[in-house]
Structure 1
Amino acid sequence: MRSHGVVVAVLAVVAGTGFDVSPKWPTRVQVFVANSGSDNVTVYDTRLGEVVATIGVGDYPTGVGAHPSGHRVYVANESSNTVSVIDTRTRSVVATVPVGANPFGVAATPTHAYVTNFGSHDVTVFDTATNAPVKTIPVGRFPHSAVAAPDGSRVYVTNNGSDSVTVIDPTAQAPVQTIPVGVFPSGIAISFDGKRLYVANTGDDTVTVIDTGGNRPTATTKVGNAPLGVSVTPGGRVHVANTGSDTVSILGPTGKLLDTVKVQRMPEGSAAAPDDSFVYITNTGSDTVSILDAESGKPAGSFGAGRQPEGVAVTS
């Protein structure tokens, strides 16, 4: 296996989607899913309850990251060593950025995007205004995923081959600290207040909780088999996609295991809506995306994606 975001009583059901549409959302939310097997991105509109676009990108798209403004989405194309920049309003590719070898994860601050290059053991930084690469930052071995602090003050990168997280200072565009975690750290997420990081360790079936104040691990929680994607809701619930057990582990803010939910085959990506409505889980083995209620964790439906969906990002 390769390891390289109060319901009303009456709901309207949209035919063919398996998804219950409720008026939980204060804004329109779009879900962007990278389909590594079909070289495209599926766009799902939550207000309409349907797929509204399929966007062709580079070869073997994996990770997806959203700009804080919601106006851009960045897709890492692992086999073509590029990042596709998507305008979320026109749902079209507006730029293609060359990066390092085998890019996988993308995180963005208001001014820069950070791309983990799994094959070259570094991070490409490019300007989000011009889409021009400005720096290459060496990190640990086989960097997998990245996440930016909500205030843009730090970027965190999981190093799959070094069992660590690299902390990058965006002002200096340089690493400032390395945090030891579990075995084969893959997915990473940060709480909406920026105080905690959650790292999915694929090799030992755990999640490491890190206090960002001192950048020190505070808890290690056993989850399902081969955890990969992880996301945090605004309410503080952590959703971990366990690709080896076809489940999602739900944790509380401190890392306590609250529940385990069955989903479809080989869940890999995890993304939470910014309005605390739903969580989206990509199922690589069934070409679908499962939708979980962010508060209860209960399944709320699913929709079809392209072949082998992996990364997922939500914008509003």
Structure 2
Amino acid sequence: MPSRLQRRARFLLLGVLGAFLFGSVPIHAEEAFVTNQLSDDLTIVDLATSKPVATIPIGGKPAGVAVAADGRFAYVASPDDKAVSIIDAVARKVVGRVEVGGGPLGIAVAPDGATVYVADWYNAAIRVIDAKTLKVTGSIAVGASPSGLAVTADGKLLLSADRDDDMVSVSDTATRQRLRTIKVGTRPFGVTIDTEGKRAYTANVGSNDVSVIDLAEGREIARIKTGLRPYAVALAQGRGFVTDQYDGTVSVFDVASQQPLKRITVGDYPEGIEATADGQRIIVANWESNILSVIDAAALKVTAEIKVGDGPRAFGAFLRR
């Protein structure tokens, strides 16, 4: 006869297995949620099979996108409609819409999924959306033409790349007040924070480089040269990967030495970029080619191309993990 302790352990194990089997613990293949600005839709790509599995009409020239950490919802900013669409990632359909006004572009979701932040390009502000009520509940004043947004893993700090002020604004998410500004290169667009929350990286479209920011010190500590018109940055395996729009390449740099390593040819006009959860692949959206390029992060070479919609931007955290 099994002991009480053994029966309890078996019960707990069955409970965990049941949760996985019956869906209370989400299980899904990693997917890319790619905003296609010219075809006014969003393509969902299964990264296990490298095939598109759904196309969702969005409208309003969708650009910015952010998938919640739990993979339940994705949020898409449409500048022409002045709105944010909410996509149920499981049902694969739009389930809500929030009118935010101005020019919504960059978008980010708090780690707990409770709050969505949207950069208002025209009004030097970040709109704050309650993810439960789908209401705009506040605004944070930042610099001119905020584009990329990123939130630290603890959810306490929000960074915005303020393109036309050549700086990054660092805001307190609790008080919704800007704490400081950090001067970077010319025309910063995408901004990425490392997993430790120690450093941030901006792709500077105007100066063709990446700024490395020490968040504790609140200052730029290095500049790394890239190709022409860098757009966004991804991090994996101790390396940074930067989309060079005008060169059709991804610049690779070493995070520790802050030195360039290589340039990888991808599609035409690469923009959005993100690393897969395991850090093994880098996914790149190519605006002119209408494809995703898949880069092996260790071998530093393109291993696949995936057809998507017209004018893919995928600006933000577009992977559903």
Q: TM-score, normalised by structure 2?
A: 0.87
Task: Give the equivalent residue in structure 1 for 2:168.
Answer: 165
The whole-number CA distance in structure 1 between the counterparts of 2:101 and 2:178 is 17
2:188 to 185, 201, 208: 185
Does 2:265 match 1:242?
no
Q: Read off the aligned partner of 1:283 and give its amino acid letter.
A: N
Task: Give the equivalent residue in structure 1 for 2:20.
Answer: none
The whole-number CA distance in structure 1 between the counterparts of 2:191 and 2:107 is 11
Q: What percent of counterpart residues are identical? A: 32
C-alpha change, 1:95 and 1:236, in structure 2 (3 Å) is farther
Q: Read off the aligned partner of 1:269 and give its amino acid letter.
A: G
Does 2:40 match 1:39?
yes
Does 2:211 match 1:213?
no
Where does 1:61-76 land on structure 2 (aligned, <5 Å)? 61-76=62-77
Where does 1:24-35 land on structure 2 (aligned, <5 Å)? 28-35=29-36
Task: Give the equivalent residue in structure 2 for 1:79.
Answer: 80
> Which deviates more from structure 2 when the two are superposed, residues 257-266 or residues 199-208?
257-266
| Structure 2: 5+ residue stretches without partners | 1-26
Q: Read off the aligned partner of 2:151 and give its amino acid letter.
A: A
By how many angstroms is 1:236 displaced?
A: 3.1
- What secondary structure sits across from 1:104 in the alignment? strand
By how many angstroms is 1:49 displaced?
A: 2.4
Task: Give the equivalent residue in structure 2 for 1:53.
Answer: 54
Task: Give the equivalent residue in structure 1 for 2:9.
Answer: none
Q: Residue 100 of structure 1 contacts residue 123 of structure 1 at CA under 8 Å; is this kept in 2?
A: no
The whole-number CA distance in structure 1 between the counterparts of 2:244 and 2:153 is 26
> Which deviates more from structure 2 when the two are superposed, residues 238-247 or residues 295-304?
295-304
Q: Read off the aligned partner of 1:289 and give its amino acid letter.
A: L
The whole-number CA distance in structure 1 between the counterparts of 2:160 and 2:195 is 17
The whole-number CA distance in structure 2 between the counterparts of 1:286 and 1:307 is 8
Where does 1:117-196 land on structure 2 (aligned, <5 Å)? 117-196=120-199
Q: Residue 85 of structure 1 contacts residue 96 of structure 1 at CA under 8 Å; is this kept in 2?
A: yes
**Root-mean-square deviation (CA), in Å?**
1.4
The count of corresponding residues between Structure 1 and Structure 2 is 290
Task: Give the equivalent residue in structure 2 for 1:276.
Answer: 279
| Structure 1: 5+ residue stretches without partners | 1-25
The whole-number CA distance in structure 2 between the counterparts of 1:83 and 1:73 is 10
1:252 to 226, 251, 254: 254
- What secondary structure sits across from 1:257 in the alignment? strand
By how many angstroms is 1:203 displaced?
A: 0.2
By how many angstroms is 1:100 displaced?
A: 3.1
By how many angstroms is 1:213 displaced?
A: 1.7
By how many angstroms is 1:65 displaced?
A: 1.1
- What secondary structure sits across from 1:34 in the alignment? strand
Q: Read off the aligned partner of 1:60 and give its amino acid letter.
A: K
By how many angstroms is 1:211 displaced?
A: 1.2
Q: After the TM superposition, which parts of structure 1 deviate over 6 Å for at least 4 consecutive aligned residues?
A: none
Task: Give the equivalent residue in structure 2 for 1:12.
Answer: none
Larger RCO (CA within 8 A; separation ≥ 6): 1
By how many angstroms is 1:315 displaced?
A: 1.2
Q: Residue 40 of structure 1 contacts residue 55 of structure 1 at CA under 8 Å; is this kept in 2?
A: yes
Q: Residue 199 of structure 1 contacts residue 209 of structure 1 at CA under 8 Å; is this kept in 2?
A: yes
By how many angstroms is 1:107 displaced?
A: 0.8
The whole-number CA distance in structure 2 between the counterparts of 1:75 and 1:237 is 28
Q: Residue 100 of structure 1 contacts residue 119 of structure 1 at CA under 8 Å; is this kept in 2?
A: no
- What secondary structure sits across from 2:181 in the alignment? strand
The whole-number CA distance in structure 1 between the counterparts of 2:280 and 2:69 is 18
Q: TM-score, normalised by structure 1?
A: 0.89
Which has more helix, going by share of residues?
A: 2
